[in-house]
Structure 1
Amino acid sequence: KLNLKKHNLEAFVGTEIFKDKFENSFLRAEDFTIETPDFMFPDAATGQKTNFGSETAYTLVSFFGKINYDFDGKYLFSATLRHDGSSRFGKNNQFGTFPAFSAGWRISNEKFIEDNFSKISDLKLRAGWGQTGNQEIDNSAIYSLYVADYAGGDPTWNTSYGTAYDIYGQGTGLLPSGYSSIQIGNDNLKWETTTQTNLGLDFGFFNQKLYGSLDYYFKETEDILVLPPYLGAIGEGGNRWVNGASMENEGLEFSLGYRNETSGGFTYEINANISSNKNKITKLPEEVKNNYGGDGGDDNILGRPLGSMYGYVADGLFTSNEELLNSAEQPGKGLGRIRYRDLDGNGIINDDDRTWIGIPYPDFAYGLNINLGYKNFDFTMFWQGIGKVDIVNQLKYQTDFWSVDDIGSNKGSRLLNAWSPSNPNSTIPALTTIDTNAESRFSTYFIENGSYLKLRNIQLGYSLPESILDKYAINKFRIYFGIQNLLTISSSNFTGVDPENPGFGYPLPLTSTLGFNITL
């Protein structure tokens, strides 16, 4: 560390060695004469006994250094360098080097700002560039793996599957086991690398009463680590970890706040934020195409957001015989059934009519936080929401189809409004117990707008005055009452319970809390 007049320099270097080891042992025994825990020792069992175990480990070694420099608190610079090696990667690429740089200019400390713009209390321009590595894969990802599979641990004639085989043709006794391949090794597996560039501006006015920040970022992730599915023609054991696709993220974040206090002692602070992110796949090697959406060929996810949805376009319901006669060939079609759009125009609904039908990322996300105070009372409120986003309402599978013939199950109220000759304007398919129209196929029928605005938290508190606390040697006593998830405003076309949990998970509950804080 060096301080010379207005120059301040700080530097350090270090190294780290980390090892993680996981051991697992399993023992099973059946048929105990005395079935109480006190007598259930493995050697007391008279039936089948099974035991197995496993062990995995990985080691990480790191060398790193950092330099921080500033001049008079105005000009700031920082540089870091990491060199990491992981046993999880192939012998050809175990080490990765990851540099990072950042710089800042505190413009508000410049004399021309202080002399001419006194209302500016903070103004800082900053920029950064850096790389990080990811090694989150299986410890054994680089190896070719084989297992002796006794089909559940039973090396006898009681099993009809696994790798055990009567190689000597004795027809009795224990079976010797062969080995089956479960993974192909990859000595060239290497670090997944993310490179990010940031530009930002922090500002404050009127002695920080008005404050905020603006950030832009561009992030590129290369050599994404993935275990893609493989074609059955490859044969057993075709699993292989690879460095696959590359992806870009680009976004803006903006926050703005204001705080003040009136002459009557009323304090308030309001701050809001909004952000937007755009994502797309920029590289898609042939060997990982099956890991992403699309038809496995030319109609793939390249140039589209990660997790983009691929399926059929539902075009309403068949409501007349004329529509049935003039529509594409669609096995199982009928009145009240879902009509699918014939995108390739060949007059037949098949796999070639699938297309990209949804993006799982919101157009934007936002939040609003309000803090109020008056004398000994305090009040907080936090709102959070997202803009338009495509979500899969999985409950529709249950309410509109599966539950129709479930015995003893609760039914969705949507069934009461299903299509029928007397209810021809319904958008819910006619009730059926046989899915001849393949309506469980993934289509836009299950995709809805998942935008929402939620009142995440609201809380009112009261702190006892010091005149009372001093008598009992208590520094602070605050009692409060709060409610979480009080209100949700969702899109008018969302038919589920909670747009944040559109699957089969339990929706976020409304929670009330009464409590107190004591500081002695």
Structure 2
Amino acid sequence: MRHNGAAHINRSDGSDYLLDLTATYNKSFNDHSLKGLVGYAFQIYNSEGLNGTSRDFITDAFLYHNMGAGAKDRQEVGSSASKRSIASYFGRVNYSYKDRYLVEATLRIDGSSNFTPENRWGYFPSASVGWLFSEESFMKNTSSWLSNGKLRASYGSTGNENVRYGLQNTYSIDWRNAIIGGGENKGAYVSAMGNKDLTWETTTEFNIGIDLGFFNRRIQLTAEYFNRQVKDLLQGSKPIPSYNEVGSIVANAGKLQSQGYEITLNTVNIVSKDLEWNSTLTLSHYSDKWKERPSYLTMKPYQTNSDPYNAWWAYEAVGIMQPGDAVPNAQKDLLPGMVILKDRNDDGVIDDEDKVYQGSGSPKLTFGLNNAIRYKNFDFSIYFYGEFGNKRGASYKENWTFMDTNQSVNVSVWANKSFSSTNLNGQHPTYLKQGTYGWGDFYTKNIYFVRCGSITLGYTIPVKKNILENVRVYANVNNPFVLTNWTGLDPETDNGSFPYPNIRSFGMGVNITF
């Protein structure tokens, strides 16, 4: 549609006011040490927005600086505003005995304007203990090789109130207007219904860890395990009866359980006057599952009460149908080159009863490795990170192979590897048609990637200290390469359809310290 010139302007303003008051108390006597802190915090968020559109200009010279110059009978204007506040009372007590027995207790009382006065305040206590066992008398014989040893544990809860305006009804005014008496009349409608029963989403976590140092801290090891439960999850899709103006509301529903571990190893490999080499290796694993599904969700036949939160299922692919093969009873429309799916219960129908668990989209192992080397005035660092054991389906190359579901774009070059009349040994399904039930888990596999995150090379220039303290020049490259078995553009960012890969960047700079 031709508008003979159009101008648009949008403006948004936001403010965040924070008041934070604290008082502390410290007292030491004999082998005891006591620290206390109490405080109050208040935070308020305000935002306002204004937008306008004008059309039919006689010239483009005004740009958007003279919106009134548009000749259209009805110009477009809109505005918005929001306000939210949070208040917190908190206190913390730390106690230590001989600097080796450590206890901490914390209490937070948080209030949010997102909830009604009856549900506004949440109480979140926590406690932790620590034992510096390397300082015990019976550990003195280990001091030659054990630099430090600490065992710690904690248990506590935190709250989440981020539901925007889930408490009250939201009304909208837009193009849904009524024609009354031959003219258009503005009207308002409920675009989101509030829920006055909303309350805090609460996360409770148990954590245990150990810190070890060896050989004058040349080797330092930290290992942690956590077990976390989240209850009263703030969900945005609880169905409500169809006579309401909207189909769902925000509600507290369900409970999740998560657990995982993290291991960090720091080593000083070489240390001398001219040469230093330090390394840091981090390994972690994380998994979550439903502890209690929302009552309004109807489970599919393939689901259980303890499935991973982001679990997904698909039909089991048996292979590619070859010329002369008998047509499966459950797939009467199958042609050579299409994927045969397994009828797991042999009922002659492919349905939910035949789907199998594929994964949760979470890796089995995540790692990071950093090495920092200094030789005289030169410094060099290289950082790697990656994931292993992440189940994933088809990449965009494989998704865009099939013409029957992808008619808006050309098929990918993957089609050259597909089964066809001239390629009966093709290792991939025909690109002409998927069939009624698709290809199932034909392309599902375990994905891994090892990415070089950054490489930096620097040189510190000797200078006279009476003018400059330090001058360092450096060059770096981010994301120089990645090793992976993923067939898409980027194993870290791909969503299967329109991924935007991590970019590679180069930089040079100078750091000057006076």
One-letter amino acid of the counterpart of residue 424, structure 2: P
Q: 1:20-35 alignment to 2 at 5 Å?
A: 20-33=45-58
SS at match of 2:361: coil
Answer yes or no: is 1:500 the counterpart of 2:492.
yes
Per-residue CA distance 1:365-421 (angstroms, 9 max, x = gap): 1222222222122221222121111124440465312599757x6652212111113
Task: Tell me the distance in 2 between the aligned counterparts of 1:460 and 1:147.
Answer: 56
One-letter amino acid of the counterpart of residue 457, structure 2: L
Q: 1:134-213 alignment to 2 at 5 Å?
A: 134-138=160-164, 140-148=165-173, 150-151=174-175, 162-166=176-180, 170=181, 172-175=182-185, 177=187, 179-213=188-222
Answer yes or no: is 1:321 the counterpart of 2:337.
no
For residue 255 of structure 1, what is the aligned residue in structure 2? 264
For residue 427 of structure 1, what is the aligned residue in structure 2? 427
CA RMSD of aligned residues (A): 2.7
Per-residue CA distance 1:299-321 (angstroms, 9 max, x = gap): 43530111111232233221133
Alpha carbons of structure 1 residues 44 and 80: separation in structure 2 relative to 1, 3 Å? same
Q: How far does residue 472 in structure 1 lie from its aligned partner after superposition? A: 8.0
Task: Tell me the distance in 1 between the aligned counterparts of 2:200 and 2:150.
Answer: 34
Task: Tell me the distance in 2 between the aligned counterparts of 1:470 and 1:44.
Answer: 65
One-letter amino acid of the counterpart of residue 184, structure 2: L
Task: Tell me the distance in 2 between the aligned counterparts of 1:18 and 1:382.
Answer: 38
More strand by percentage: 2
For residue 226 of structure 2, what is the aligned residue in structure 1? 217
Kept in 1, the 8 Å contact 2:382–2:454? The answer is yes
For residue 273 of structure 1, what is the aligned residue in structure 2? 282
Q: How far does residue 231 in structure 1 lie from its aligned partner after superposition? A: 7.6
Kept in 2, the 8 Å contact 1:314–1:341? The answer is yes
Kept in 2, the 8 Å contact 1:404–1:431? The answer is no
Q: 1:378-389 alignment to 2 at 5 Å?
A: 378-389=379-390
Q: How far does residue 250 in structure 1 lie from its aligned partner after superposition? A: 0.9
Kept in 1, the 8 Å contact 2:238–2:250? The answer is no
For residue 132 of structure 2, what is the aligned residue in structure 1? 106
More helix by percentage: 1
One-letter amino acid of the counterpart of residue 202, structure 2: T
Kept in 1, the 8 Å contact 2:373–2:379? The answer is yes
Percent identity over the alignment is 27
Scaled by the length of structure 2, the TM-score of the pair is: 0.86
Answer yes or no: is 1:476 the counterpart of 2:470.
yes
Task: Tell me the distance in 2 between the aligned counterparts of 1:241 and 1:67.
Answer: 37
Per-residue CA distance 1:173-228 (angstroms, 9 max, x = gap): 23363x54333332111100000111111011111011111111111111110111
Task: Tell me the distance in 1 between the aligned counterparts of 2:455 and 2:138.
Answer: 44
- Note the residue ranges of structure 1 that are not aligned, 5 or more in a row: 152-161, 291-295
Task: Tell me the distance in 2 between the aligned counterparts of 1:93 and 1:402.
Answer: 54
Answer yes or no: is 1:230 the counterpart of 2:230.
no
One-letter amino acid of the counterpart of residue 173, structure 1: G
For residue 447 of structure 2, what is the aligned residue in structure 1? 450
SS at match of 1:305: coil
Kept in 1, the 8 Å contact 2:338–2:435? The answer is no
Task: Tell me the distance in 1 between the aligned counterparts of 2:271 and 2:208.
Answer: 36
For residue 458 of structure 2, what is the aligned residue in structure 1? 461
Task: Tell me the distance in 1 between the aligned counterparts of 2:197 and 2:348.
Answer: 48
Kept in 2, the 8 Å contact 1:90–1:186? The answer is no
Task: Tell me the distance in 2 between the aligned counterparts of 1:85 and 1:274.
Answer: 37
Higher mean displacement: 250-259 or 181-190: 181-190
Task: Tell me the distance in 1 between the aligned counterparts of 2:368 and 2:400.
Answer: 33
Alpha carbons of structure 1 residues 353 and 262: separation in structure 2 relative to 1, 3 Å? closer
One-letter amino acid of the counterpart of residue 478, structure 2: Q
SS at match of 1:227: strand
For residue 418 of structure 1, what is the aligned residue in structure 2? 418
Alpha carbons of structure 1 residues 489 and 32: separation in structure 2 relative to 1, 3 Å? closer
Alpha carbons of structure 1 residues 68 and 264: separation in structure 2 relative to 1, 3 Å? closer
